[in-house]
């Protein structure tokens, strides 16, 4: 990427919210991935890089977290700033204060806000009222930070993104929504296999397919996991019952019984396929232990890259 193009992209990203990958151009997403790789190299080399010195990120959590909280907090520290953990139980937002009021107050104290919550409209409303950048740490609709880290990991292992095929087997949840849009934006092909009644959101499918058609790639949704995984470069899955759907665990175990990613199913993927999972995983449920702990698995590289991808987001927009 030419320096003048990078400078223009960097300028365009300043002060932006990071809510959905669909809000960003393919060039902007690739810029963030390349920046994540650059920041990772700096960190591994022990190089001090403090573009956010003196700045503070407020981190609102309505959903519990391991990777999101630690990676954002450590990331802010490594960038020279400070992450401030804000539990919804401790904020007035948890006692009925309007989101818009919370956004305006926090904007007077902070340089950025990250929120991990349930309803996507909460993030949208927060971003509309805030005067500082807002980052979507996860909603029931999308998980853009995770997917940026995912495709960074794929690029590091495969050396390219364009033309690769990713197969997602499992629940049509927030993860697959962001994976579809990210793949479409980056010129990757994605095939999604879900049981009947658990498909991705229809609007998310349509939007991703529209973008894919512009990029010369494809987004396919099927019932057949073997069809989806055929000749896949990357195989991805997630828990069958995401946070908030625990009451459906038993019925989902029945519905998803034929959708476990195991040694038998992965025979249909390419011999050098990569296995990915956003974690936490239920070994023996959505994925067999032989696969998740096997030679194709890159789940901990993927988890580590949450730190570097989110540092890239924060450095770029804050």
Active site residues: 116, 143, 146, 238, 278, 306
d(C-alpha 105, C-alpha 271), whole Å: 53
Give the sign of the dihedral formed by CA 296, CA 300, CA 306, CA 307.
negative
Residue pair 65/87 in contact by the 8 Å Cβ criterion: no
**H/E segment holding residue 58:** strand 56-61
Please tell me the distance from the alpha carbon of residue 16 to that of residue 280, in angstroms, as a whole number: 29
Strands (DSSP E) found in 170-210: 189-193
Q: Is 243 annotated as a binding residue?
A: yes
Write out the two tokens for 292.
């998740």
* Residue 13 labeled ligand binder: no
CA distance 284 to 219: 28
What burial letters (b/e) apply to 110-145, b meaning 16+ CB within 10 Å?
Answer: bbbbbbbbeebebbbbbbebbebbbbbbbbbbbbbb
82 annotated as ligand-binding: no
278 is in an annotated binding site: yes
Judge contact between 302 and 153, C-beta under 8 A. yes
127 within 8 A of 144, measured Cβ to Cβ: no
Nearest 5 degrees, angle CA 314-CA 130-CA 138?
55
Is 146 labeled as ligand-binding? yes
Q: Judge whether 213 is annotated as a binding position.
A: no
Residue 145 known to bind ligand: yes
Q: Is 279 annotated as a binding residue?
A: yes
Any binding-site annotation on 122?
A: no
Does 95 show up as a binding residue in the annotation? no
Q: Is 303 exposed, middle or buried (0-12, 13-18, 19+ CB in 10 A)?
A: buried
Q: Which two tokens stand for residue 85?
A: 């953990």
Alpha carbon 197 to its chain centroid, in Å, reads: 23
Determine if residue 121 is labeled as part of a ligand binding site: no
Residue 204 marked ligand-binding? no
Do 129 and 100 form a contact (C-beta atoms < 8 A)? yes
Residues belonging to the binding site for L-ornithine are 174, 238, 242-243
Residues belonging to the binding site for carbamoyl phosphate are 65-68, 92, 116, 143-146, 278-279, 306
């Amino acid at each position: 990427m030419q320096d003048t193009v990078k400078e223009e992209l960097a300028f365009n990203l300043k002060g932006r919210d990071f809510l959905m990958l669909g809000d960003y151009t393919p060039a902007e997403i690739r810029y963030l991935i390349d920046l994540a790789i650059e920041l990772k190299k700096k960190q591994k080399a022990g190089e001090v890089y403090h573009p956010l010195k003196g700045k503070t990120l407020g981190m609102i959590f309505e959903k519990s977290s391991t990777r999101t909280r630690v990676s954002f907090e450590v990331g802010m520290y490594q960038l020279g700033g400070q992450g401030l953990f804000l539990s919804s139980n401790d904020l007035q937002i948890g006692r009925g204060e309007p989101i818009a009021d919370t956004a305006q107050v926090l904007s007077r104290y902070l340089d950025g806000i990250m929120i991990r919550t349930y309803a996507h409209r909460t993030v949208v409303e927060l971003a509309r009222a805030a005067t500082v950048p807002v980052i979507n740490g996860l909603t029931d609709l999308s998980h853009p930070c995770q997917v940026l880290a995912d495709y960074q990991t794929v690029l590091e292992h495969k050396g390219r993104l364009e033309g690769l095929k990713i197969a997602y087997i499992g629940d049509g949840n927030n993860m697959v929504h962001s994976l579809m849009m990210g793949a479409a934006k980056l010129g990757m092909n994605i095939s999604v296999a879900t049981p009947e009644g658990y498909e991705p959101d229809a609007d998310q499918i349509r939007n991703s397919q529209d973008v894919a058609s512009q990029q010369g790639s494809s987004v396919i949704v099927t019932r057949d996991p073997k069809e989806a995984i055929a000749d896949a470069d990357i195989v991805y899955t997630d828990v069958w019952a995401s946070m908030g759907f625990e009451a459906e665990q038993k019925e989902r175990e029945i519905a998803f019984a034929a959708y476990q990613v195991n040694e038998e199913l992965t025979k249909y993927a390419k011999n050098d396929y990569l296995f990915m999972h956003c974690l936490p995983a239920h070994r023996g449920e959505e994925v067999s232990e032989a696969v998740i702990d096997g030679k194709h698995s890159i789940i901990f590289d993927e988890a580590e890259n949450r730190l570097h991808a989110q540092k890239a987001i924060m450095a770029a927009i804050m």
